[in-house]
Structure 1
Amino acid sequence: MTDSKGSRVKTATAKRQRLMSAAAQVVHQQGAERTTIADIARAADVPVGNVYYYFKTKDELVAAALTEHARQLEILTDRLDRLPDPGARLKGLVEAWISQRDLAARYGCPTGTLATELDKRDEGGLDVEAGKVIRLLLDWVERQFRELGQPDPDELALTLVGAYQGMSLLANALRDPAVMTRQGTRLISWLDSLSGPQRAAAGHG
């Protein structure tokens, strides 16, 4: 009896996660306004009627997509945090962006494009939720710059994340993944130039 209940809970949790992942994917590809609950149900391979057990409205699914973006960001930053050097972590972040160049060229940045779309709404508050996901990224990047001993780590974080949003936008507008590669390579060189003096000073000492 207990095993059966536990199995049902695991199945329900897995189904909810499938819906959240599908929501993130479909909303990224189609935009929030064009996406229907049926679209997300189809992508998750869940009957439409079952969706309402987990999410009552499409806005709840859009919020779930943002939660999934935050979860994916946490997975990435947790992996990067295993690197001992903050400079390597930042470069690893840029390399992760570059690896998504084909998706960026086709659909733009998942969170950035959604934040822009939601901002045009008159109500709902989902634009604020999208901003929170971007803030998570900014805070993580800022911590890396602070650990590097850089002055104004918050401004440097804005520069790096802003560059990512810009190159994603241009790659999407031009339908050119190479924009991500070229600009990402420039960002890595910039990061090397920032961390170089600190490494040299440490080595000299």
Structure 2
Amino acid sequence: MTVQTADLHVPDHTFGPGGVTTSSDSDYVQSAAIRGPVKANRQLADKAAMLARVMRTTNSFTSALSTFLGTPLRREPRRPDTVRPVSWDDAVLLDVVPGDNATYREGWLAPRIHGPQFRAAAVTALVLEHRLGLDLAGREDLKQGEIPLGQLLRGANRATHFAYTIASQPQDGHPVIHVQATLLLGGVPVALVRETVMWRALTHRVGNRASATRR
């Protein structure tokens, strides 16, 4: 799978031929494929490295991030789900024929807290709905889009492909960790997910976020 390394602002991770592609949107995040240690003070750098290690081994991105933040998370759909053909690269990971249809989902994960709200992560997914085995209520929850996929598929296993920190400075609306994984039920791939932890997940408790940048 190919991940672009251009330094730009992107609104989403688009599943398609050649892997992740990007497009311009000023309210979203800086490009995330430039791997490396974060450009922050030691405390934040250690937090970022620790969280990346956790994401490599967790069976639930949502649960791991929720535990890290100390609060439950809710999903905010970014736009309505769409059905699109699966690229060759993604078909290999999902064990389907290239061109088969899958449901494409985009959303944010935000903490359920009082006070100023923020988005802790961005998540995109290619989902094979016919493999999920959801009951009527579960299919309705999936359609509504307010429950994270990992919570809907509590029996799923997670095969993490990678989790890495990004050589970036602490800035609101910018990414700090990229993760990709396949969700499986009984060893069968049911979803391909790409997750981006935002800097606010690490800095929201820092009194002066500007001071977090390493000088």
Smaller-chain TM-score bracket: under 0.3
Judging by fraction of residues, say which structure has more strand. Answer: 2
Judging by fraction of residues, say which structure has more helix. Answer: 1
TM-score, normalised via structure 1 length: 0.25
TM-score, normalised via structure 2 length: 0.24
